């Protein structure tokens, strides 16, 4: 699954971050994307698509991803830095959950997670919640405004 270039272009992410997203999708070095654990690249791309779709107004300069990948899921936290702010999102991408929501079963009667992942791609997030740990950096501390998910 490639990065959704329309979502990427519409976002307020910095040009450096946008270039790194394209590089990451091509398996090249991407200094603004930090993975704290080894996870499948496809799951990171899904996460970035969701971020830029859910919050196109955010200035994104860097990401730090602390996620655990299972067969049908990818769960963890995403720290987004940019525009003088640091935001943490708790996420759970789960194609099994999506298949259950759709009522899809495979030939053996199990939730058809392969179909869900194919048809919904990045849009299988069961959880996407801005953490209360999100804060403004020292440059913006004391200014008003909050950001919700």
Over residues 77-133, the pLDDT tens digits come to: 999 999 999 999 999 999 999 999 999 999 999 999 999 999 999 999 999 999 876
Residue 78 lies inside a defined structural domain of this protein? yes
- What domain count does the chain have? 1
Domain presence at residue 21? yes
Contacts of 24 (CB under 8 A, 6+ apart): 30, 33, 41, 44, 45, 48
User: Is 55 among the domain residues?
Assistant: yes
Residue 72 clears pLDDT 80, i.e. is over it? yes
In which domain, by residue range, is 12 found? 5-94+125-134
- Report the DSSP beta bridge partners of residue 35: 65
| Domain contains 25 | yes
- 142 within some domain: no
In a domain, 19, yes or no: yes
129 within some domain: yes
- Please tell me the number of Cα atoms within 13 Å of 33 on its side-chain side: 23
Does residue 103 fall inside a structural domain?
A: no
pTM: 0.85
């Amino acid at each position: 699954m490639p990065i959704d270039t329309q979502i990427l272009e519409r976002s307020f992410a910095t040009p450096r971050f946008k270039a790194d997203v394209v590089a990451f999708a091509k398996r090249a070095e991407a200094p603004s994307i930090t993975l704290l654990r080894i996870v499948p690249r496809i799951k990171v791309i899904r996460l970035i698509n969701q971020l830029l779709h859910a919050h196109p107004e955010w200035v994104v300069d860097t990401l730090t991803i602390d996620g655990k990948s299972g067969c049908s899921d990818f769960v963890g936290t995403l720290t987004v830095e940019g525009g003088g702010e640091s935001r943490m999102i708790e996420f759970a991408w789960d194609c099994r959950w999506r298949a259950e929501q759709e009522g899809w079963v495979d030939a053996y009667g199990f939730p058809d997670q392969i179909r869900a992942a194919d048809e919904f791609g990045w849009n299988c997030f069961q959880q996407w919640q801005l953490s209360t740990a999100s804060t403004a950096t020292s440059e913006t501390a004391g200014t008003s405004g909050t950001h919700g998910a």
